[in-house]
Structure 1
Amino acid sequence: MLRTFSAADDWPPGLDEAVAFAVRWHAGQTRPAGEPYVEHLKEATAFLAYGAEVADPALLHAAVLHDVVEDTACTTAEVRDTFGDEVATLVDWVTKGDDRDAYLARLRTAPVDALLVKLADRASNVQRLDTHPRPEKQRTYYAETVRSIVPLSTVHPWFADWYGTWRREFAHLA
């Protein structure tokens, strides 16, 4: 059975500043189903902390902040000034630019820590993919995840198992 995480899961300790920073930048944003965007950040962080059992503060901070440069007016420099080089570098690795294909190709050369943040991010996005309001988006996102993200999950046994289960449970979207 697929292990999922939700906004009901607690934030790991020590992330108050990152959470406040992300909440401020993502204020008013919602996900496709209408829930507050911060719920996605909490889910991604929970995947990393409670699923993969990652305790590294830089990785957990990057999980909270992973979309702040991509989806808001925040810059990598602002992340660096507030949270340091390591967190900013991880956020930069998982920040998608204008060319989605180039971004996905670039991930194949990403350091393991950046891949862990990306795997947690995508796991949050796909754990309820079949509830996305647009069926065509469900199918294309499933295909992209299987093609470009699932192969990256081999960097961590928990994510490899999780994505294997997810792929089987969501195969109806293929």
Structure 2
Amino acid sequence: METFTSWRTWDEARVDLAELPVDLPAVEKAAVAAQRWHGDQQRPTGVPYVEHLLEALEVLVRGRGVTSTELLAAVLLHDVVEDTEATTGDVEAEFGPVVAELVDWVTKPPTAGAGRQQKRAAKAAYLRRLGEAPPEAVLVKLADRVSNVQRLYQIAPDKQRSYYAETVTYILPLAAADPWFARWYGEWRERFAHLR
């Protein structure tokens, strides 16, 4: 199972992207905005949040072979509305309606003040709704989840089994329509089969 952890900083990503047919200034603009909005946020593992965004970018570029400016910008910005003060309007103002729509599709609805069961129900509804999303938004979500699950063993042991089940239930059906993602998630499923 291939992992995507080569790009820890934008400078590292830029070197590889410069050799590809991508609009590097436009993608860099998204990377800079993501860094600005996420600031000093960290992942639960303690690494800078930007590393997750760069992993998802690497999945699309090096794994799936995506060069679309809108898709690459959206994958870098996919968590800004959910996890920062940025709004969908902010994203649209800087990156246009296509990127804003993709980010909106992959943004979980707010659940502040909701109980545990309400939060779980809202997340399940959000994941089911992705089945209606445009294919480009699905690619963003699939890349995001690859970053999240490629090292599933790094999350808290009590959450590994539920995250595995959630991925198998909701994400694998989305991946089935795309040969590259279907293969990757198939290998991932076998790698972590002990969590069934």
TM above 0.5, yes or no, is: yes
TM-score, normalised relative to structure 1:
0.95
Tell me which residue corresponds to 2:178: 156
Tell me which residue corresponds to 1:67: 79
Tell me which residue corresponds to 1:114: 137
Alpha-carbon distance in 2 for matches of 1:77, 1:57: 19
Tell me which residue corresponds to 2:159: 137
CA RMSD of aligned residues (A): 1.1
Q: Structure 1 runs of 4+ off > 4 angstroms?
A: none
Structure 2, unmatched stretches of 5+, are 19-23, 112-121
Amino acid at match of 2:159: K
Could you tell me how far 1:155 is from its partner in structure 2? 2.4
The answer to whether the aligner puts 1:4 opposite 2:3 as a matched pair is yes
Alpha-carbon distance in 1 for matches of 2:84, 2:161: 27
TM-score, normalised relative to structure 2:
0.85
Q: Aligned residue pairs: how many?
A: 172
Larger Rg: 2
TM alignment of 1:68-87, pairs within 5 A = 68-87=80-99
Tell me which residue corresponds to 2:102: 90
User: 8 Å contact 1:80–1:87 — kept in the other structure?
Assistant: yes
Amino acid at match of 2:165: A
TM alignment of 1:29-48, pairs within 5 A = 29-48=41-60
Tell me which residue corresponds to 1:27: 39
User: 8 Å contact 1:112–1:155 — kept in the other structure?
Assistant: no
Structure 1, unmatched stretches of 5+, are none
